[in-house]
Every structure is written in structure tokens, then in C-alpha cells.
Amino acid sequence: MSATPPANSARVEGAQGTPLGAATLGSVRRRLLRGSWWVTVGKVATIPLTFLINRFLAHMLRPAEMGAYFAGFTIVTVGAIAAQLGLDRALVRFVARGIATGQPGQARQTIRVAFTAGSIAATAVAILLVAGPGEWLSQRMFHSDLLASVIPAVAVWLLLTALQELLVETFRGFQQFKVVSVLDSLLVDSLCALTFGIMLVTHAGPSVNLVIAISAAFTGIAALIGAGMLVRRVRRLGTNGRLQRGEIFSMAWPVMIADLASYLLGTGVDLLVLAAFRPLPEVALYGAATRLLVLIGTPFRILQGVIPPIISELHAQGKKQELERAVRSAASLAGFPAALVLIAFIVAGPLILSVVFTPFYRNAATILAILSFGRLIAIYTGSAGLTLMMTGHQKAMMVLTLVMGAVSLAAGIAAAPVFGGLGVAIATTVAAITQNVLQLVLARKYVGIYTQAYLLPGPVIAFFSKKQDEAAPT
């Protein structure tokens, strides 16, 4: 893995941070395709790796241990969001904006502030988890000694994950998608799959604690490599341009709240709610369904990985028409393959769950179908939420997500004791659909664009063809 900048880096930021030229549909198209290519390579490669990891663990760990693993993974995911303080999105927006407007000093200042605050926050959250809340969650809420035993390893995993994700988002702001594709998950998943595969073949029989510790160690390796690459990248930045006082945090704190609240709507806190009321084997079923959704979301995550810096750049340059065409075309390109896989999950869920995990997990088929339907709606509405956050409307996004997150959480708590995973899945899906539709409305109101995928291929073909600079399709 090389830290050498791409061949066109001089054009992007210039030797002394010269401004990026006014974005055209042609340049946006090229960057979308180039970035999507690298992110696609990384994400597609992780599909078989994640498949192998899940299968290896399902054969080595008992269902109760898998439930503890999924609960620990969710704690890491939600805790890392809190630890990042919303600075991950701020890094993408202000690094991309600084480079696009010829003010690399903004990018340098953003990186310095974000990593200083993020490192302190991540350490504090990890220490806090070990000091009390982790054991309380395990013993009082989940009634699980097994989960309590892995909290120290989970805390370390959380800390390293938060730092790794800040590094990934920084390189995303630079639009260095080759680096993003490797550091985001490819490197860690490759190492985990290799290690767990060897353990399975040699009948090592690892504990869930060891599994989490290994995952944390490989996350740390990825973070260390990324940190070394970033230091060399930052040294080459110019110094002209500065952020307004408090500008980073004025964006970051609403984003953090919105991101945390989004886990009340998605496959995050819903699993923890279920774990509070139902036994860990049932949690394992729900966790299996959600892990499959992570797998099939690859095309849509490719869009989410490439489009944020482009949204920030086009908005900063006042290119509203180009922004709408880029966002909608990217949503269409990413949404079609994801929609096909989601439909397959709805139709053939029992078979797929049995193959990916073990026959026990076919009992999660109905949960998988419900969650897949909600994800279909999310794919259609496109990057409405990202558009709001990358254009300065993060507070509106925060309020909406808080309200819908509270509704989802309350409905899940009410449904879990009686209906188990099925009730939690329905509550989560209904709230998520409402959230996505309202985001679409807000993007139109505040940004003045539509973000949903095109239903016909014509506009998408026109955008990604050599005729992309012609008038926008109607």
C-alpha cells in the first residue's frame, strides 16, 4: 500500500494548494466512476470475506456466544459514533471544501482539530465503558455474564474503531478512494478471515473474548498504517486558508446526535433492545439477519463512500443542477444491484441464511424479509440525509432523526417482550421508512434538489455518457 498521491493530485490541490477548477459534469462523472471503482473493489472483496467470517464464527461459537458477539459488535458501532463526536462527517466536508476552494490550510486545521478531539473522546468513552456502564448493560439490562466478560475487549475495539473511521473519512475528504477501500474494511476483514479460518481448521475453539480481541488487534493495525500515511499527506498541504472559529463543531455536534439517533432507527440499538428482553440465541438470529443486510448494502455503501465530498464541492461552488444529477444518478447506479439482492433476501431468505450461517439461522428469515423491505425504500430515496449534512442543514437532520429514533426505540421496547425479534423488526422498519421519506422532503425544501433514484435508465445513461454536459434530463 503506497502513500504516493494519485497522478492527478496536482490538479486537485496544486503544489501550493491552488484551487480546484470549477466542477463540470464531466469532471464529476470521472471522479464518481474512478472513486466508485476503487470503493467497489474494496466492498466487493469484503463480501466473501464477511461471508467466511460469519460462517467460521457460527461453527466455532455457540448461539449464546454469537449473541454476545453481535451485542458487543453493536456496542462498538454505536460507541464509536459517540466517540467521533460527529467529526467524521466534518472531516469529509471541510477537507473536501478546503481543497476545492484552494484553501488547504482549512483541510490541515480540520484534521488537527478533529484528531485531537476525537482521540480524547474515544479514550474517554472506552474508559467509561469499562468503568461501569458496560457491566451495568451486561448484568442489569441483558442479564448476561458472558457479555460482561468481554466488555474490556469491546472497549479496546471501540477505541481503535473510532480512530480508524476518522482516518478513513479523512482520506475520503481527499477523495483518495483507493486508500479508503483498503483501510475501511478490506484489510481488517482479510486478516480476520485468515485467522478465524486457521482456527476452525485446527479446531482451536476460541472463546468469544478472544474473537473480539483479535478483531480489535487487526483494527489497530489498520489504524496504525492509516496514521502513517496521513502524516505524510498532511505535510504536503499548503497553509493558506483557515476555518471560522468553532465551524467544525457547529457541524459536528448535530451530526453526532443524528448519527446516534439513526441507530435507534437501523440495525444497531434495535439489537440491544431485543437483547434486553429476549435470550441471546434469539439475539443471534436477529444479528444474523442484520449482518446479511450489511453484506448486501455494498452497492449503496459505495455511493455513500464516494458522494459526500462531491456534494460538498458542488454545493460550495453553487452547482445545484449538477448536484442533483450527480446525486440521483449515483443513487440509481448503486441502487439497482442492491435492490436485486434485497428482493432475493425477501424471496429466498431461509435458504440464504442456512448457507451463510447454519440451518439454525433460517429461523431469522421473516425478520430478514421485513428489514430488507425497509432497506429497499432507503435505497430508493438515495442520499437525502447525506445531502442535508454536507450542505449545512445538519440541525434539521438531527431533529428529524431524534424524533424518529425516539419513536422507533419506544415501539421496539413495547414490541420486544411480546413479539420478540419480529416486533422489533417491524417497529424499526416503519420508523426507518418514515425517516427516509421525510429526508427526501427536507432535501427538496432546504437544498432545492431531489435525491431519489431515477426509475428509468435514460437519465443515468445520459449522465455517465459523453453527453453529460448537455441539459439536465426532465
The dihedral of CA 38, 41, 43, 46: what is its sign? Answer: negative
The mean per-residue pLDDT over the stretch 116-122 comes to 91
Residue 97 · residue 313 · CB < 8 Å: yes
Decide if pLDDT at 156 tops 60: yes
Cell numbers for 310, please give them. Answer: 462531491
Q: How many CB atoms lie within 10 A of CB 341?
A: 19
Residues 6+ apart with CB under 8 A from 54: 288, 291, 356, 357
- Domain spans, the chain: 19-464
Decide if pLDDT at 221 tops 60: yes
Q: Give whichever of 185-194, 288-297, 305-314, 328-337 has the largest mean pLDDT.
A: 185-194
State the pLDDT confidence band at 27, using cuts at 50, 70 and 90.
low
pLDDT single digits (tens) 66-99:
888 888 888 888 888 888 888 888 888 888 778 7
C-alpha 447/C-alpha 451 separation (Å) is 10
Q: How many CB atoms lie within 10 A of CB 200?
A: 17
C-alpha 431/C-alpha 451 separation (Å) is 20
pLDDT single digits (tens) 289-324:
888 887 665 555 656 667 777 787 788 778 888 888
Residues 6+ apart with CB under 8 A from 358: 58, 59
Decide if pLDDT at 341 tops 60: yes
Decide if pLDDT at 411 tops 70: yes
The mean per-residue pLDDT over the stretch 376-403 comes to 86
pLDDT single digits (tens) 91-108:
888 887 787 777 788 888
State the pLDDT confidence band at 21, using cuts at 50, 70 and 90.
very low
> What is the pLDDT of the chain when averaged over all its residues?
80
Q: How many CB atoms lie within 10 A of CB 330?
A: 30
φ, ψ for residue 249 (rounded to 5)?
-75, -25
State the pLDDT confidence band at 145, using cuts at 50, 70 and 90.
confident
Decide if pLDDT at 466 tops 60: no
C-alpha 57/C-alpha 369 separation (Å) is 23
The mean per-residue pLDDT over the stretch 113-132 comes to 89
Decide if pLDDT at 235 tops 80: yes
What pLDDT does 323 receive? Answer: 87
What pLDDT does 6 receive? Answer: 35
Residue 232 · residue 3 · CB < 8 Å: yes
